[in-house]
Homo-oligomer: A and B are copies of this chain.
Amino acid sequence: MRQSTLFTKTRREAPSDEVAKNAQLLVRAGYIHKEMAGVYDFLPLGLLTLNKVIGIIREEMNAIGGEEVFLSTLQDPEVWKKSGRWDDEAVDVWFKTQLKNGSELGLGNTHEEALTALMTEHIASYKDLPRYVYQFQNKFRNETRAKSGIMRSREFIMKDLYSFSNDETSHNAFYEKAAAAYERIFERAGIGGKTYRTFASGGSFSKYSHEYQTVCDAGEDTIYIDEAKRLAVNKEVYDDSDVYAATGIDKASLKEARAIEVGNIFTLGTRFSNALGLSYKDAEGKATPVFMGSYGIGPARLMGTVVELMSDDKGLVWPESIAPFAVHLVSLGKDTDEIAQAADALYDDLVNAGVDVLYDDRDLRAGEKFADSDLLGIPTRVVVGKDAAATGQFEVVNRATGEVVKKSRAELLAK
Contact = CB atoms under 8 A, between A and B. Distances in A.
Interface of A: 5-9, 30, 33, 35-36, 39-44, 47, 50, 65, 67-76, 95-100, 105, 107, 114, 118-119, 121-123, 128, 131, 133, 138, 140, 142, 144, 154-155
Nearest to A44: B67
B44 A74 contact: no
Contact of A72 (B9, B44, B71, B155): B155
Contact of A71 (B5, B35, B65, B67): B35
Contacts of A40: 72
A54 to B, nearest CB: 11
Given A96-B97, A114-B35, A122 B76 contact: no
A47 B74 contact: no
Contacts of A47: 68-70
A9 B118 contact: no
B72 A122 contact: no
7 contacts: A7-B122, A8-B122, A9-B121, A33-B118, A41-B70, A74-B155, A99-B142
A74 to B, nearest CB: 5
Given A68-B47, A100-B144, A142-B100, A73 B155 contact: yes
Contacts of A6: 67
Identical copies of this chain, number: 2
A301 to B, nearest CB: 16
A72 B133 contact: no
B7 A131 contact: yes
A276 to B, nearest CB: 14
Given A7-B122, A9-B122, A41 B71 contact: yes
Given A74-B39, A97-B96, A67 B7 contact: yes
B35 A72 contact: yes
Given A33-B118, A35-B114, A138-B138, 7 more contacts: A9-B121, A9-B122, A35-B72, A44-B68, A47-B69, A72-B155, A95-B98
Contacts of A43: 69
Contacts of A39: 72, 74, 76
A133 B7 contact: yes
Closest A-B pairs by Cβ, 6 of them:
A42-B70, A41-B71, A7-B131, A95-B97, A97-B97, A35-B72
Contacts of A30: 122
Contacts of A75: 35
A73 B121 contact: no
Contacts of A128: 7
A15 to B, nearest CB: 10
A147 to B, nearest CB: 14
Contacts of A133: 7
A107 B72 CA distance: 14
A181 to B, nearest CB: 17
Given A95-B97, A114-B41, A119-B7, A35 B76 contact: yes
A69 B44 contact: yes
A140 B41 CA distance: 17
A262 to B, nearest CB: 21
Contacts of A121: 9, 33
Contact of A74 (B36, B67, B68, B99): B36
A42 B135 CA distance: 10
A76 B36 contact: yes
Contacts of A35: 71-72, 74-76, 114
